[in-house]
A and B are shown apart, each in its own frame.
Chain A
Amino acid sequence: MNSDENNWIKACLEGDTASFRMLVNTYRHLAYTLAVRITKNTEDAEEVTQDAFLKAYTSLAGFKGESKFSTWFYKIVLNLAMSKVRRRKPGHQNIDELNLQTAADSESKQKTERTYYVEKAIGSLPDDEAAIVTLYYMEDQSLDEISKVVELTVTNTKVKLFRARKKMAEMLQRELKEDLYSIL
């Protein structure tokens, strides 16, 4: 855990709520991304992310610093997102119908299209594999840390990551064809 985070957490525990805003600013995009990948719905993802921050705030005293704050926090996000999906009524909005607001919004149409297919491919994965892929490509998340978030062994996490990437590669090959090879 970096020293800034450590100081913010300490300040929060001493009653300085403003320090928690720093943690919110640092993790909101990553938490939201993870929530979008699991719920496949931006509204639900926003609600899950906010709930996760509130839960993190109320349980902060229980964070002992045995893992990174991000690992502890992503676990909260993942649990809330999974339980949101479980409680969902049939006929929810699918990711295909979403107007995806991604980092690529302002970039070229081609890149936006690629992003769309990547999201579609991730959306087709089971929840745990989608979470593993998302976390793997996030900054600073090692396989060891991911395995703690998804509560699997490192070996199982590795196997699921392999399966997920294989499925995605096959799907993207079909959707993007030669485009996939020409990206490099």
Chain B
Amino acid sequence: MNSVALLVVLPFVGSLMGLAGKLARAPRFFSIAAVLPLVPMAGLLAMSLPAVRAGSVISYAMGGWPEPIGIVLHLDGLAWLSSVLIVVIAVAVCVASFCRTGYGSSFFFFLMILISGMQMVVLTGDIFTLFVSFEIVALAAYVLIAYDQTDAGLLASLKYLILSTVGILFFLFGVFLIYRDFGTLSLATIRTLASERGGPADGLTVTRSIHFAVAALCVGIGVRTAFIPFHTWLPEAHAYAPHPVSAILSGVVIKVSFLAMIRIVWTLSAGYLNELLLWIGAITSILAVIWALAQSDTKRLLAYHSISQMGYVLAAIGAATATSLTAGFSHAVNHALFKSLLFLVAGTAIRMTGERDLFRAPAIGRHSPILAAAFLVGALSISGIPPFNGFASKQLVGTALGGSPAYLLLRITAVGTMASFIKVSRIVVPVFRLSPRRVATPASIDPLVTGAVAPAGTLILFPAIFLALLCLLSGLFAPSLAAFYSDLLAPAALRQGSPVAIAVAQPGGLASLYKSAKLIETAIVIVAGWLLYRLVLTPPGKRIAGSIKRIAPELRTVLLYFVVGLGLFALFAYV
């Protein structure tokens, strides 16, 4: 039973090492000691798999205080999978952070606090502890984004801070309304009370204040998950953070808050939000991809793709069909894998060449072919090319959405994703430099010629190869993995009061995924993506891209979006 508490406590022990390293003479030693607790965490998770797989929930009451009074952690299927995802990405990011010696042990202090906070978000069973853990995650994230103390990093961190604090105030207001109506904060108790009040279908949804509470909670979490009216902090924060931090922020931090939102929406049986989520997801994915296409900064482009891919996840969950949870979750996991990989390699490329602009940066393919190959694996995965994992999970999302008109938007998004990754791949492979209108670099200052490209370091290769292999393997074994996910998620969904029963998928072999129709569709996407890419590089395309790029919402406008978003969620409840 203690294993659940240790999942939260162990990263804190690690962070203590990071703090001690600031005072001690050997900061390097303490930095390594700080990340070591990830190993026993992985072991604990592996040990608890059989129990979780059997459908049982491992609960742990902090300090021995039971459910309505104390803080109780629950390790169910959903929490287990998210926890594993956090540990996997954290290991890769920590190894990558050792690659640059500039990060002192205080960096690892904040990294471990971030990981601990995320573990609390996925494990906690009551909404106030959820608020506290959100704030722990956020505080660590603000510091990490500003860690290099560049101007852009500081301002991005401040922008994130102001937006997400306003968001969390709405969340806290939602918590207040829930507490006023139910007199409890524990999700399990709310669930029981709700069913006592005559079933989730009518008992809960008629209360106006609960509608408003759900809207407020969704707005608060929406800022953390960055779907469209609330996304504006993400491109800056993820683009100007230190590279490993971008990887972990895009990889897990935005997903973890979304998983918390699924739990809340289910428990408060806010099934009426599903259609809104579906459309927000579809619109998010397509708008973000248009923005991404217009970017010329490598990391900003990747950051916009994080928003776009979260749109897929949101749309899949919002579709509320029997496979939607499995589809959404697999896409979230796969996105975590390939986006961390892309951020780590792109960050290393920027560190090597010292150039963020993808049109001016020299390709690193010749200097570090392994990194280039890893980047291509990530790019192929995110564009949904078989046999990588993005293909599999995008097909699953398609199945989950069924014939919904929102799927059309996602198909267009796929074309945009393809195009922008053809565009961004020029930072690793010179093959894509077909455009003759590229800014000609004089040979004397071309870093490739003068040899100014810094070495990549060998340590970065481990996380890159590790994540690239995971992308490939989770693509090859996608059907059995999907079955595994649904096996774990179904009991958790049932317990939380999911609006639809989660179908346990059967591993139908690879054949079910690689139908010829789907392969033809993929080929069409590739061709259309290439055409779109050429189109963006034509003079009118460049002009449009430039004007899109200039829509950089200032803080003031952004906060107005916010109020609009809250109104949208609240209105949808009444209709």
Partners in one complex: no
Partner-B contacts on A (CB < 8 A): none
